[in-house]
Structure 1
């Protein structure tokens, strides 16, 4: 990875800006920074502002237009589409272990612990698992007065192993804490995923009616920001509370409408790419249909 000074110099020269023309820093100071002196945070931010580069992009450029290792590992975790995909989980674990050998990073270690939880859930085919590290992380975050973005993200990934009565207050607090991030870049994606994760937890725990307000919020945000798949997910998950409220036909219509759209999206994507690809939308649709069938079977068994 290039030094901070080398990266500043590279950006400055590419934009055709002379050292003497920079207004955010004296020429002598800039020359020292570009030779290796680490700038203060204030000067660094002022230089980035003048060069019209934000901090995230700067570090991306510094790492030869690639995400730094930590950000890349977090990206891989976020991109999990199926949390119980054992092969993918083990691949991630290997990458995390390799990174953690030379770096002490509590956040990446926490993500590594969550992967262990997923494997345990997969082995037991149940969310009724016990994991000491997860309980410790939960207790640590829950007692804080202020929860930050990554704290809330982590909580949504370990919801499933805690009982409903323990979750209610935490979700309520997380919703309040998230309000501080209303103006944070791209926060709507996080909020939609958060509301959906909360809702899934309630549904898996047999408390589907509690999922409704979160799903309505998720669907509204997804519609506002044109996030199609998450809007469809929210729409589909509302079927569970519809059914429990007695609107069986409405619930089934939601499921049919959602899965039909997903199958249609899959067809359009394949035609557009003109090649066979992993059936992303088709897989999601089939997973929804499978989960819905299991739910209906459970409801029928409960009424016998």
Structure 2
């Protein structure tokens, strides 16, 4: 892995900038030259100024600095954001990555929490035992509930395990999550996080036969899915909307067909199989 200065030099030359241009009002050209040659360090504020001048955000800089790939830790977190909680193979693959990382970084609490959540989800995928899965992930909720502020990865953790808890606890966790989501309203990926939160709430309301409330949550989720162009989750919402309408004595078949067709067009066969199981349950 290159030094920070060396990576900055690579980016500067690629953009055709001089040292004088990048260093202006931030460092003397001599100090800047030493930094590029990895002979000195600079503070975070100066680094931020240099990256702004180069037009490179911090996350892209670290990606470049790491050889145009994510670090092992970043890769785990990114995959966790995207993981299908019903796909046992993907869950086990990510769990193994966590264990490999934790061999050298056993005190990383965040990755330990993710590994614990994956443990619970794998048990659920294998046995469909909600109680056992809940028992495994409960320590994560107890730990995070003590925090005064949650950050994006912690919010994803809670959203992922939400459906394992009884409804009264879920509604408590929901308010806890929403209180923190508002602080990240315009941050990347948070709209998708909000969608997953509502999806899990919807599932739990349907499991508790509260189809009227579930329908309301689904309508809100459909609006967010369209805004984010998340058509796979939109397909699930249509199917759930149809189920709720049917259970309320209304006509829901057209929405179920619409959702199935959408998932088929997107070639989401595994996801459709999972939703078919939900349909049998309800």
What is the TM-score normalised by the length of structure 2?
A: 0.89
The residue number in structure 2 matching 1:28 is 30
Summarize deviations over 1:48-73 as a string: whole Å, max 9, x none.
00000001110111111111211111
Contact 1:200 1:211 in 2 (8 A): yes
Contact 2:163 2:170 in 1 (8 A): no
The residue number in structure 2 matching 1:68 is 71
Contact 1:156 1:198 in 2 (8 A): no
The residue number in structure 1 matching 2:274 is 287
Q: Secondary structure at the match of 2:131?
A: coil
Summarize deviations over 1:113-153 as a string: whole Å, max 9, x none.
11110122234322122656632221222233322222211
Write out aligned runs for 1:1-304 (5 A): 1-22=1-22, 23=24, 24-36=26-38, 37-81=40-84, 83-103=85-105, 104-129=107-132, 134-247=137-250, 249=251, 251-263=252-264, 265-266=265-266, 280-295=267-282
Give the Å deviation of 1:95. Answer: 1.5
Contact 2:159 2:193 in 1 (8 A): no
Give the Å deviation of 1:168. Answer: 0.9
Q: Secondary structure at the match of 2:188?
A: coil
> CA RMSD, aligned part only?
2.1
The residue number in structure 2 matching 1:269 is none
Provide the C-alpha distance between the structure 2 equivalents of 1:122 and 1:227, rounded to a whole number of angstroms: 24
Summarize deviations over 1:193-220 as a string: whole Å, max 9, x none.
2221232233345444443343222211
Provide the C-alpha distance between the structure 2 equivalents of 1:164 and 1:218, rounded to a whole number of angstroms: 19
Provide the C-alpha distance between the structure 2 equivalents of 1:101 and 1:6, rounded to a whole number of angstroms: 30
Summarize deviations over 1:75-126 as a string: whole Å, max 9, x none.
2223322x24333322222221111111232111111111110122234322
Summarize deviations over 1:224-271 as a string: whole Å, max 9, x none.
232222222222222343233222x2x2221111102322x14xxxxx
Summarize deviations over 1:7-44 as a string: whole Å, max 9, x none.
11110111111112222332122122223233211011
Q: Secondary structure at the match of 2:33?
A: helix
Provide the C-alpha distance between the structure 2 equivalents of 1:144 and 1:20, rounded to a whole number of angstroms: 45
Give the Å deviation of 1:178. Answer: 1.1
Provide the C-alpha distance between the structure 1 equivalents of 2:63 and 2:69, rounded to a whole number of angstroms: 5
For these two proteins, the number of residue pairs brought into alignment is 278
Q: Could you say if the C-alpha distance between residues 238 and 38 of structure 1 is closer, same or farther in structure 2, counting changes exceeding 3 Å? A: farther
Give the Å deviation of 1:191. Answer: 1.9
Provide the C-alpha distance between the structure 1 equivalents of 2:16 and 2:154, rounded to a whole number of angstroms: 42
Q: Could you say if the C-alpha distance between residues 207 and 111 of structure 1 is closer, same or farther in structure 2, counting changes exceeding 3 Å? A: farther
Provide the C-alpha distance between the structure 2 equivalents of 1:88 and 1:16, rounded to a whole number of angstroms: 43
Contact 2:35 2:41 in 1 (8 A): yes
Q: Which deviates further from its counterpart, 210-219 or 53-62?
A: 210-219
Q: Which runs of 5+ in 1 are unaligned?
A: 267-279, 296-304
The residue number in structure 2 matching 1:272 is none
Provide the C-alpha distance between the structure 1 equivalents of 2:121 and 2:16, rounded to a whole number of angstroms: 51
